[in-house]
Amino acid sequence: MNFRGGVTWYKRLMAHNVRMPLAVITGYGELLASGAFQTREEEINCIRKICHNIDYLDTLVKVLLDDEQELLLSKEYFDILDCVRKVSEYVKTITQKAGIRISVNSSKKEVLFFGNRISLMRAFFNLIENSVRYMNRRGEIVITIEETEKEILIVYRDDGEGMLPEEALHITELHFQGSNRKSGGHGIGMYLTRQTVEEQGGSLSVKTGVGNGMGIYMSFPKTGGSKF
């Protein structure tokens, strides 16, 4: 991924990438401080989630500030179903606060994906952050992951307010913001998500309508190196 640009671009990119995981860490920290957990096991689970988000942030900082691009270029086989479920767990304090439930569904127990784990995690952080910002109501995010002999299919849907279909045609363009724009947004999230999907060899399309929620459809060919 090419991050070359001016100072303003770097500032916006950095802010966009760290905002969600920092909010998650803050949320879990506040839960620990409040004494909300009744068992030591619950506390340890919370601490693990904080550590996972810190590791994720550390990787992003290395990419954005130290220009360690290879961290986003290396590929491996991993269970994308497990990866997406972990992201949905990491952000639970944010989604619960917004009154949003996340469910990750599949007819498979495991869906092996050949690609870059950090890039895919960031894509789903971006999608969930967009839903939290723009759904404008309590609701649900449903992520469905399936595979055929030739491809892996991912459908990300929320039941928020959606947007005009003619605006959705431009939603993955850099700096585009629709009529539902919010202060503090820079139109980066969906652009990075599309770029990530395409860098992993996939394609992305959007289906939406005012009052009909947002649907993000991703398709990846089942190609890559050996698992062994």
Provide the percentage of residues in the chain whose pLDDT is more than 70.
81
- List of domains in the chain: 7-221 (3.30.565.10)
147: Cβ–Cβ under 8 A, 6 or more apart, which residues? 108, 111, 153, 222
What type of residue is 131? S
Q: Report the helix count and the strand count for the chain, using DSSP H and E.
A: 8, 7
Least confident of 10-24, 165-179, 210-224: 10-24
Neighbouring-strand partners of residue 216? 156, 206
Res. 142: pLDDT tops 70 = yes
Q: Which residue has better confidence, 17 or 201?
A: 201
Q: How confident is the model at residue 53 (pLDDT cuts 50, 70, 90)?
A: confident
Mean pLDDT of the chain: 82
Q: How confident is the model at residue 203 (pLDDT cuts 50, 70, 90)?
A: very high
* 3 state DSSP class of 95: helix
The two three-digit tokens of residue 70, written as one number: 């290879």
Neighbouring-strand partners of residue 154? 145, 218
The two three-digit tokens of residue 140, written as one number: 């649900």
> Is there a contact between 121 and 56 (Cβ–Cβ < 8 Å)?
yes
11: Cβ–Cβ under 8 A, 6 or more apart, which residues? none
pLDDT of residue 68: 54
What type of residue is 74? S
Least confident of 118-127, 130-139, 216-225: 216-225
pLDDT of residue 215: 95
Res. 178: pLDDT tops 90 = no
pLDDT of residue 105: 97
What type of residue is 30? E
pLDDT of residue 19: 72
Res. 226: pLDDT tops 50 = no
Res. 112: pLDDT tops 80 = yes
Average pLDDT over residues 71-85: 87
Phi, psi (deg, nearest 5) at residue 132? -60, -40
**Distance, CA of 185 to CA of 78 (rounded, Å):** 32
pLDDT of residue 3: 44
pLDDT of residue 169: 87
pLDDT of residue 43: 86
Q: Residue 191's CB: how many other CB atoms inside 10 A?
A: 18
pLDDT of residue 124: 92
Least confident of 61-65, 173-177, 186-190: 61-65
pTM listed for this prediction? 0.73
Neighbouring-strand partners of residue 155? 144, 217
Measured CA angle at 98 (ends 93, 102), to 5 deg? 70
